[in-house]
Chains A and B, each alone.
Chain A
Amino acid sequence: MNSSVPSYYFTTRDLVTIAVLSALGGALSTFVGYIGQLFNAAVGTPFGAGQFLSGLHVFWIILAAGLIRKTGAATATGLLKGFVEFFTGSTHGIIVVLVSLFQGLIIDIGFYAIKQQDSLPLWTIIGGFAAASNVIVFQLFFFSGAPLIFLALLVILAFTSGIIFAGYFGHATTLLVLESRIYHSAATMNTITPKSPWQRLGPYRLSALIFLIVIAFGASLYAVFVWRPVLDPLSCEVVGQVSHPFRFSYLSYSGQEVTIEAELIGSVTYLPPQNYTGIPLTVILADAQPVTSATTLQVISADGYRAAFNLTTVLSDCEIILVIDDGLRLVAKNYPGWFWVQKVVSLVII
């Protein structure tokens, strides 16, 4: 009989810590997820507006990494927290396990890279990256067709949330737990540090300042690069690789309307089969005369959203039409919901 007790990389204490933080974090993250979903429903962007809370999901993982200080602890906490979220009814279903696992992996890589240093700026950056990763993972599974600049803004929002809620708050909480001595950890943190101007600013003011800067920066980017003013809501430009670029006006084509029956099946919105009357894109593109080398049609909305179509397919499909619905709206029968662009301002042939 082998009398020697095997030694493990993660001690029983580490595993219990992981379980405790995963249980707390998973249960609370489910609620945070519902609040995020509420914001998404209000704003109408799946996995979008709720990103300002994404750092709260990462907080627990960074706390576990800070207390255990072993490579792999964050990944294990992320995986376990994901399962707890799944079992407590996360809005995202089983995907939440992968999202959480990926967040843990990033924190582990980050902590490994900084050699588990107790550095607030480095923790905030790691927290930011981990929180931002969820935007990418969700896009891999629920591709929304949103423009890259919009996704970049979401990444920035999630990153900021990660800096504040995961990095800053996680660091402060780890420090507090270690100082309190309620949890005995091999980790030590530098608890007495001289007050720098950065610290004198105070956590609340600092957080508010970072949030304001990011929101202002994001709004500027959106205004400059994404948003396009709607001059005449019933018209749009037809440009790009065409022989005859022009401004399409719905009213001047009103005699060429067709009626089709179409059903919108989106990842969030569903519209049952109903009749739509509008101008086929084939008619509009015939007037623009695309050059033979053109391959793609991009339909762009006022808020920067764009959907790309295969030009050859569009030219032979009479069931993609522009209708009047709070401006111009593209109805694309046989295409998923994310191709149905609202407030169309540009048809760009590439």
Chain B
Amino acid sequence: MRTSSFGYLQRKSFVHRLNPLTKFTVLILIVILAVTLVSDIIALCIFSFLLLGFIGAGISLRYAFGRLRRLLTLILLIALVQLLFTPYGAVLFYLIPPLAPGFGPFLPITTVGISNAFNLAFRLINIVLASALFVASTDPSRFAAALTSIRIPYRYGYTLVLALRLVPLFDEESNTVQSAQRARGIPVDQGVIRGFLRRIRYTFMPMLFSALGRVDSLTLAMDGRGFGYAPTRTFLVFPKFTPTDWLIVIASVLLTGFFLWNFLFVTALPHIIG
């Protein structure tokens, strides 16, 4: 059975030791850069930085791309649409040659189409990888403690952490539900569109009911451990904001500021395609 590709992976790396708030700040800045800047070189720089991040965190690239597996199909489709329907730039060739005099050619593949498809695909890949790196390298308990350190009531901070912890559980559960449906003879993975609709139809309700069925047991477990017994709580491990954290946050903010300033006022972003 397939296991979830979303969740915390315990390692003893430099990235893991960083304060979760530092990683959260860097994540937000990376996503802002990925969404705002349209430059293939910058997209590749962010991509390389994230791959280094995964290596630095001791997390295999197989995990990183495993996280992408499901979204990659959609990302490739989005890029393909951009490639096929961008009519600007120099035409390299036509996908459909002239079929008759005055009829065709159709679907030009242009330099700008390739550039746009590349930029959009890498923008989305970078967003997914950045999120995956944060989640994989951040212990949910440390994240909850870090949120408490910035005066977010621990009950609410823990709710966020609980939601993030539940995502991989539900991911695995959806596999279980689909396996159960297959065992009953329902072809949930046959056909692209029909299979997709069948998956929704036969997975959605069982998933929802199974998820809501967990509410009582989770509540009981939390109440049993005294969750909410006092307005404040203590943590076994409380992440400190070290000079390294400060250095990384300041460097990230300055770097992002520089790139955004360059984008907004200089607009001379480097490109390798087109």
Contacts and interface: CB of A to CB of B under 8 A. Distances in A.
Interface of A: 5-6, 8, 10, 12-13, 15-24, 26-27, 30-31, 34-35, 37-38, 41-42, 44, 67, 76, 80, 83-84, 86-95, 173, 177, 180, 182-184, 263, 265-266, 268-272, 274, 325-326
B170 interface: yes
B159 A184 contact: no
Contacts of A84: 163-164, 167
Contact of A20 (B78, B155, B156, B211): B211
Nearest to A183: B212
Given A24-B170, A83-B163, A84-B164, A12 B127 contact: no
Contact of B71 (A17, A19, A34, A177): A34
B222 A12 contact: yes
B166 A270 contact: no
Contacts of A34: 71, 74-75, 78, 124
13 contacts: A20-B211, A20-B212, A27-B170, A44-B85, A76-B159, A80-B163, A94-B28, A94-B32, A173-B208, A182-B212, A184-B216, A269-B88, A269-B116
A84 B127 CA distance: 13
Contact of A8 (B155, B213, B267): B155
Residue among A31, A184, A269 with max Cβ neighbours from chain B (10 Å): A269
The 7 A-B residue pairs whose C-beta atoms are closest, nearest first, are A89-B128, A23-B166, A34-B74, A93-B31, A19-B162, A19-B163, A272-B274
Contacts of A183: 212-213, 215
A272 B271 contact: yes
B34 interface: yes
Contacts of B167: 23, 26-27, 84, 87-88
B78 A8 contact: no
Contacts of B218: 16, 20
Interface string B72-103: 00110110011001111100000000000000
B127 A90 contact: yes
B31 A15 contact: no
A265 B119 CA distance: 13
A10 B228 CA distance: 11
B132 to A, nearest CB: 7
Contacts of A13: 215-216, 219
Contacts of B88: 269, 271, 325
Interface in B182-210: 207-209
Contact of B159 (A80, A86, A265): A80
Contact of B163 (A8, A22, A173): A22
Given A8-B228, A88-B167, A183-B212, A272 B131 contact: no
A268 B78 CA distance: 12
Interface residues of B, number: 65
Contact of B212 (A90, A92, A177): A177
B245 interface: no
Nearest to A173: B208
B9 interface: no
Given A10-B155, A19-B163, A93-B31, 4 more contacts: A19-B166, A272-B112, A272-B115, A272-B274
B162 A87 contact: no
Contacts of B89: 271-272, 274
Contact of B127 (A5, A31, A93): A93
A20 B215 contact: yes
A15 B28 CA distance: 25
Nearest to A37: B78
A177 B160 contact: no
Contact of B134 (A6, A21, A87): A87
Nearest to B223: A12
Nearest to A80: B163
A326 B87 contact: yes
Nearest to B173: A24
Contacts of A37: 74, 78, 124
A346 B193 CA distance: 42
A240 to B, nearest CB: 30
A228 to B, nearest CB: 21
B238 interface: no
A91 B212 CA distance: 27
Given A12-B219, A184-B216, A41 B155 contact: no
B176 to A, nearest CB: 15
Interface string B26-43: 001001101100100000
B160 A83 contact: yes
B74 A12 contact: no
Nearest to B123: A91
A24 B159 contact: no
Given A8-B228, A20-B214, A37-B78, A263 B267 contact: yes
Given A19-B159, A271-B89, A93 B34 contact: yes
A23 B131 CA distance: 15
A214 B100 CA distance: 39
B159 A18 contact: yes
A89 B131 contact: yes
B1 interface: no
Nearest to A13: B219
Contacts of B54: none
Contacts of A182: 209, 212-213
A269 B208 contact: no
A38 B28 contact: no
